[in-house]
Structure 1
Amino acid sequence: MTTIYLVRHGQASFGKSNYDELSPNGEAQATLLGQYFKDILKEQPYIVAGTMQRHLQTAQGALNECFPEAVIYTDAGWNEFNHQQVFAHYEPRFKQPELLKEDVAKEENPRAYLAKIFEGAISRWTDGEFHHEYEESWPHFKQRVETTLQDLCDELAQTKPRYAVVFTSGGVISVVAGKILELNPNRTFALNWAIANTSLTTLRLVGNEPQLLSLNEHHFIKAANPDLLTWI
């Protein structure tokens, strides 16, 4: 029976022109994840990653610690939605990522403020009235992720590795969990906001159907270095 670990990428570069790059914290998180994998994985897993820079940097940083010879297969189906466009359609000022970062920094409770912005932006994106305004609408994103998940499950059902590890993003992981738990869009993206960088969400494959075993495991970060725990 195959266990699938879905990994959210390490902390990226929030507020910079190139968000899609790990921060120094993100690099340290990836190293810590790899050390944890070395403890819990008893054989080399099947590895797949989205094609975004932060996915591949997280995968490489982690695997250097545990399975440096592992092949990383890539699949753009595991890529995140365009969150910067989703923010910009909600508030045109946020077409410049640094302005969002400046606004967040001014707040007494930055995380609560950003959560409010995120909720509003996601609500607009998932509202059927505005689907035509986005490069990838919510229904298309959801269908893409669900199809990519099923394709992986079908492949693993044939090859039967003991472990598979997928390096992806919080929105993707939320959609996977939302599908299995039959959540509506609001509840799906409530999960997204809670998923920590380099956390693990674990699935068990029964036949070619995924079952959710755990969500957002990040105790290994807390135990080793609580200062590395981030959500943005």
Structure 2
Amino acid sequence: MAELILIRHAQASFGAADYDVLSERGHRQSAALGLALKAHGTTPAAVFRGEMRRHRETLDGVTGTLGVTAEPAILPGLNEFDFRAVLTARYGEEGPPGLHDDRKTHFRNLRETVLMWQRDEIDGVPERFGDFQARVLGAVDTMTASGADSVMAVSSGGPIALVVATLLETPLKKMIELQLQMKNCAVTRIVFTPTRRFLHTFNETPHIDAETTAEYLTYS
């Protein structure tokens, strides 16, 4: 069987004006993940990423220490949904309480809003949930049809959680619960044949051990 390795981006800049930039810790996380994957003998034959800056910076860090020089293919289907726009459509331009300074409140509001978005209860969103679903699963189709027996891709929590929920045939409301569990630089592995796909692992962190937990274990 072939393998698809999905990597959630490293720590971005929660609370900053531009979230789509890796923190200094995020750069260290991605480099550490590349070293861990190299130690496990990972040798991807094809590499993909989304269009976002945090995807590019994470992939650069991983491949730099992993030793992969292949030019990545860019798939818009791997992009995160625009959570700020979805929140704005529900709450207005000021956004919900805690957007910039209270993680617990922010993620509670995000969870509630995503469930409403999935049920198509929010007007004015730039992307309907059904369209998000179609583009993400289309990106998976493209990657698994690439002909490579080992494929690696950097994406975000939302798309990866959607893929996992789809493979497990869970209710789609489980997507946001999976997303909020996902660690930065976490690895999800899918094994596949031309006709079937199976979830192999979810949310693994080969770059984190007892000594590096304080440095590398982050969620946003």
Instruction: State the TM-score, normalizing by the size of structure 1.
Output: 0.87
Equivalent residue letter for 2:5:
Y
Bigger Cα displacement from structure 2, 175-184 vs 190-199? 175-184
Deviation at 1:118, TM superposition (A): 1.6
Deviation at 1:37, TM superposition (A): 1.3
Greater helix share, structure number:
1
Q: Give the whole-Å Cα distance in 2 for the aligned partners of 1:179 and 1:164.
A: 19
Summarize deviations over 1:83-133 as a string: whole Å, max 9, x none.
111222233254499x6223x0xxxxx43x333112112122112232x42
Summarize deviations over 1:117-166 as a string: whole Å, max 9, x none.
12112122112232x421111111011111111122222xxx2x331111
Q: CA RMSD in A?
A: 2.0
Deviation at 1:205, TM superposition (A): 1.0
Conserved 8 A contact 1:7-1:198: yes
Conserved 8 A contact 1:44-1:70: no
- With over 3 angstroms needed to count, the CA separation of the structure-2 counterparts of 1:202 and 1:68, relative to structure 1, is closer
Out of 100, 106, 109, which is 1:117 matched to? 109
Bigger Cα displacement from structure 2, 174-183 vs 115-124? 115-124
Q: Does 1:72 align with 2:38?
A: no
Find the counterpart in structure 1 of residue 219 from structure 2. Answer: 231
Deviation at 1:68, TM superposition (A): 4.4
Q: How does 1:60-209 map to 2 (within 5 A)?
A: 60-92=60-92, 94-95=94-95, 100-102=99-101, 104=102, 110-111=103-104, 113-130=105-122, 132-155=123-146, 159=147, 161-209=148-196
Deviation at 1:201, TM superposition (A): 0.4
Equivalent residue letter for 1:122:
V
Of all paired residues, the percent bearing the same amino acid is 25
Conserved 8 A contact 2:9-2:58: yes
Conserved 8 A contact 1:12-1:22: yes
Conserved 8 A contact 1:4-1:163: yes
Q: Does 1:211 align with 2:198?
A: yes
Bigger Cα displacement from structure 2, 13-22 vs 42-51? 42-51
Instruction: State the TM-score, normalizing by the size of structure 2.
Output: 0.92
Conserved 8 A contact 1:5-1:164: yes
Deviation at 1:78, TM superposition (A): 0.7
Q: Give the whole-Å Cα distance in 2 for the aligned partners of 1:147 and 1:118.
A: 25
Bigger Cα displacement from structure 2, 208-217 vs 113-122? 113-122
What SS class does the counterpart of residue 215 from structure 1 fall into?
Answer: strand
- With over 3 angstroms needed to count, the CA separation of the structure-2 counterparts of 1:12 and 1:94, relative to structure 1, is farther
Unaligned runs of 5+ in 1: 105-109
- With over 3 angstroms needed to count, the CA separation of the structure-2 counterparts of 1:42 and 1:78, relative to structure 1, is closer
Summarize deviations over 1:56-96 as a string: whole Å, max 9, x none.
10000111101242221111111110011122223325449
Unaligned runs of 5+ in 2: none
